[in-house]
Amino acid sequence: MIDLLNSGGLLTGNEHEGYRCGFVAIVGQPNVGKSTLMNHLIGQKLSITSRKAQTTRHRITGILTSESAQFVFVDTPGFQKRFRNALNQAMNKSVTSTLADVDAILFVVEAGRFGPADQAVLELLPKDRPVLLVINKVDTLADKGSLFPFIEDVAKHFNFAAIVPVSAQKGLKLDVLVAAIEPLLPESVPMFAEDQITDRNERFLASEIIREKIFRMMGEELPYVMAVEIEKFEEETLADGRELRRIYAAILVDRENQKPILIGKNGTKLKKIATDARIDMEKLFDAKVHLEVWVKVKSGWADDTRLVRQFGYE
C-alpha cells in the first residue's frame, strides 16, 4: 500500500492502526498565554502574541504530528464581555462554536490566579468532552509551594480529565501535556500531511504578522478598533530560483486622528512595523518578501457585521 502521508496525502487502511488524530481547543480568558502555548507546542510561530489582551481575534489552527498521533490545536480568541460591538460578538461566537467541534479542550489559567473571568469561561465548557486544566506561567510563581493549594482550589470547580502545570514561554512540561492529550483523541488516520503546520494560507498569516507588530509597537497607544487588510498578495519565482512574495497591506483605523499615532513622526513607527513584519514573513514563508503598508480610515467597521465578516471574523 502507498504511504500517502509521506506523499502529501492522507493515510487509509491498517498502516496506522491505533493512530490517534483529533482537534484540541485552547481556551481561557485574555492574556493567559494561549497563543504562546500553541506556538511552542507546534514549534513554529503561527498565532500572534503580545502583552495586550485580545491580541488573538481569529481561530488559528496549528498541527503537531508525531509517530503515534496528530494534534490539531485550535487557538481561540479570549472570551470577554467588555465590548458589545459586532467584532467582539463574532469573536465570542468563534469560541463557543469551536468548543462544539473539538475532541478535547485545554482550559488555560495563569498560575496563582483564578477569578470570576476564568470562572465565566469555565462555565462555557461542554460537559461531554474531556477538559484538561493547563496552569501556565508556573515559572513566575514567587512561592512554588503555593502551586499545590492553587491546583486543589481550581480542581473544585470542574471535573478535569487531567491537570498539567507548564511554562509555555520556557517550554517546560509541554511534553507531559502532549502525553496527557494523546489518549483523549479518537483513533483515526491523520487529517493533514505530516509536514503541514497550519490550515491557514500565507495571505492570512501575513495579516496576522503585521497585526502582531502593531500590537508590540503601539502598546497602550493602540486603537482597539484596528484591523489589517491584505489588498494584494502576489507570488513569483526570481531568476535565481528564489521565491518572492509581494504583499500590499492596509491598516484600518476607525478615526482620522488615529492615523498619525500609527504612522509616527516622519513615518518611523509605520516603517518599523513593516520592517519587523517583513523579517518574520521571510522566516515563515522561506521566501524573499516585498512589503508595503499604509494606514486607512474606515469608520465604524467594528460595528458593521458585513465588514466584520469581510475581514474574516466569523
Instruction: Extract the annotated binding site.
Output: 28-35, 75-79, 136-139
Distance CA 191, CA 202 (A): 20
Distance CA 80, CA 55 (A): 12
Cβ-based neighbour number of residue 54 at 10 Å = 18
Residue tagged 508590540 (cell numbers): 216
CB 8 within 8 A of CB 191: no
CB 109 within 8 A of CB 118: yes
Of 214, 219, 216, whose CA–CA distance to 229 is shortest? 214
Binding residues for GTP: 28-35, 75-79, 136-139
CA 97 to centroid of chain Cα atoms = 16
- Residues present in the chain in total: 314
In the sheet where 288-297 sits, what is the strand order? Answer: 226-237, 243-253, 288-297
Of 232, 211, 235, 231, whose CA–CA distance to 223 is shortest? 211
H-run or E-run covering 132? strand 131-136
